[in-house]
């Protein structure tokens, strides 16, 4: 693991369980990752892979019960978010860590003006006066590219389009100059041309403000364009982690490899037949005692049923720093590019 000084966020062995009537659901299983200042970490996975629950666990945003954080540490600048008091945590949420949610239609309050919603964290966390907050809010709206900011401040969410609302969400998340911005599928609900606008905006904001970003998505295409490092999740655990170029050029986990092949491309030769990952994602009704992907894996062998594979480093860097994978199977050397 990185020495705490180097990482703005350092998460170790995070474990979250949902208690339901049908039994326990192990949604997050020993997830570890870190985030350096100014870095963009992409988190990829299908629905139910635990990617959102992981990030919401960090800020204890999940209602408890049913959610129960069973263990682990989440150090933000050296302080553990999981053991903080509620008061301390409140000073972190929205101030040190900003959150942008998937659906810009439902995450803004329809009965307050945008001005009120952008100024709320400024007044609460930064203790600005209303007038100062308003000036800062206009600055923020201009930063995220909303024209006519001073008039727009007095409008309600329904007067904005989807893309505009997502810009407002980003403005709110950035209001207090956070160290970490967590973006949970921020462009999934948007059309491609609007998505392209938002991606450009985030790239530009990173250059200007230099905060660290965690970007959750199921879209490998989005990740390829913006991430520095990528963490692939499946069955509530990290199955592969690598710098972005390494991951796409040299995927190791059978899930990552298959996922990259199921997506048709818009350039290059046209695919004649899509590769299919047979079967369904696992239902996580108990602690993982075997590899969660084994039922859908084409390289399954005895070890996969006997034990859940730990993450092992592929390159010289220690696990969690460079390229690592949680798989018993060793992918053949890079001779044939990503062809299993």
Partner 1 sequence: MLDAQPAPLVQVQDLKMHFPIYSGLFRRHTGDVKAVDGVSFDILAGQTLGLVGESGCGKSTVGRAMLRLYEPTAGRVVIDGDDVATLSPEALRKKRPTMQMVFQDPQASLNPRMTLADIVSEPLDEHTNWTRDQKLERVYDLMDQVGLNRRFVNRFPHEFSGGQRQRIGIARALALKPRFIVCDEPIAALDVSIQAQVVNLLEDLQEKLGLTYLFISHDLSMVRHLAQRVAVMYLGRIAELSPSKDLYARPLHPYAEALLSAVNEPDPVLAAQRKRIILKGDVPSPANPPRGCNFCTRCPRVMDICQTVKPDLVEVEPGRLVACHLYTAAGSTGTSEASEHKKHERIQQGETR
List the one residue from 274, 316, 333, 335 that touches partner 1 (CB under 8 A).
Answer: 274
Helix (H) or strand (E) holding 312: strand 312-313
List the one residue from 2, 6, 209, 276 that touches partner 1 (CB under 8 A).
Answer: 276
Contacts of 141 (CB under 8 A, 6+ apart): 114, 118, 149, 152, 153, 167, 168, 171
CB of 247 to partner 1, least distance (A): 8
Nearer to partner 1, 6 or 249 (CB): 249
CA distances from 135 to 31, 152, 163, 169 (A): 41, 13, 23, 18
List the one residue from 61, 89, 105, 194 that touches partner 1 (CB under 8 A).
Answer: 194
Q: Does 285 bind partner 1 (CB under 8 A)?
A: no
Helix (H) or strand (E) holding 249: helix 244-249
325, exposed or middle or buried, with CB in 10 Å at 0-12, 13-18, 19+?
buried
Contacts with partner 1 by CB under 8 A: the residue count is 47
Considering only the stretches 11-19, 95-103, 169-177, 222-230, report the one whose residues sit in contact with partner 1 under the rule CB under 8 A.
222-230
List the one residue from 180, 181, 244, 325 that touches partner 1 (CB under 8 A).
Answer: 244
Long-range CB pairs of 123-128 (<8 Å, 24+ gap) are 124/94, 125/91, 125/94, 125/95, 125/176, 126/95, 126/175, 126/176
List the one residue from 61, 281, 290, 303 that touches partner 1 (CB under 8 A).
Answer: 281
CA distances from 136 to 84, 130, 148, 167 (A): 29, 10, 14, 15
Considering only the stretches 23-31, 59-67, 76-84, 257-265, report the one whose residues sit in contact with partner 1 under the rule CB under 8 A.
257-265
CB of 94 to partner 1, least distance (A): 28
CB of 322 to partner 1, least distance (A): 16
Binding interface with partner 1 (CB under 8 A):
46-47, 161, 163-164, 191-197, 199-200, 218-225, 227, 244-245, 248-249, 258-260, 262-267, 270-271, 273-278, 280-281, 296
């Amino acid at each position: 693991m990185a020495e705490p000084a180097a990482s703005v966020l350092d998460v170790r062995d995070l474990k979250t369980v949902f208690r339901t009537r049908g039994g326990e659901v192990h949604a997050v299983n020993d997830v570890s990752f870190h985030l350096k200042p100014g870095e963009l970490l992409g988190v990829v996975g299908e629905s139910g892979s635990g990617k959102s629950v992981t990030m919401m666990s960090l800020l204890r945003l999940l209602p408890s019960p049913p959610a129960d954080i069973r263990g682990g540490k989440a150090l933000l600048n050296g302080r553990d978010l999981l053991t903080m008091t509620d008061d301390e945590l409140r000073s972190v949420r929205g101030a040190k860590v900003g959150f942008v949610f998937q659906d810009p239609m439902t995450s803004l309050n329809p009965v307050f003006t945008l001005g009120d919603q952008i100024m709320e964290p400024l007044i609460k966390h930064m203790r600005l006066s209303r007038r100062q907050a308003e000036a800062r809010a206009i600055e923020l709206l201009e930063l995220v590219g909303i024209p006519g900011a001073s008039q727009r401040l007095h409008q309600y969410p329904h007067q904005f389009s989807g893309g505009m609302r997502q810009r407002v969400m980003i403005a709110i998340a950035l209001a207090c100059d956070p160290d970490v911005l967590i973006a949970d599928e921020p462009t999934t609900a948007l059309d491609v041309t609007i998505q392209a606008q938002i991606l450009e905006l985030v790239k530009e904001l990173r250059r200007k403000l230099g905060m660290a970003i965690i970007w959750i998505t199921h879209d490998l295409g989005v990740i390829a364009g913006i991430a520095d490092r990528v963490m692939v999740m499946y069955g509530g655990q990290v199955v592969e982690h690598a710098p972005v170029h390494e991951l796409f050029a040299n995927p190791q986990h059978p899930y990552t490899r298959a996922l990259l092949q199921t997506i048709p491309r818009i350039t290059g030769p046209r695919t004649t037949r899509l590769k299919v990952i047979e079967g369904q994602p696992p239902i996580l009704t108990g602690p993982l005692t075997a590899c969660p992907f084994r039922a859908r894996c084409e390289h399954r062998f005895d070890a996969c049923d006997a034990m859940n594979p730990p993450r092992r480093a592929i390159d010289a860097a220690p696990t969690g720093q460079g390229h690592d994978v949680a798989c018993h199977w060793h992918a053949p050397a890079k001779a044939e590019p990503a062809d299993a």
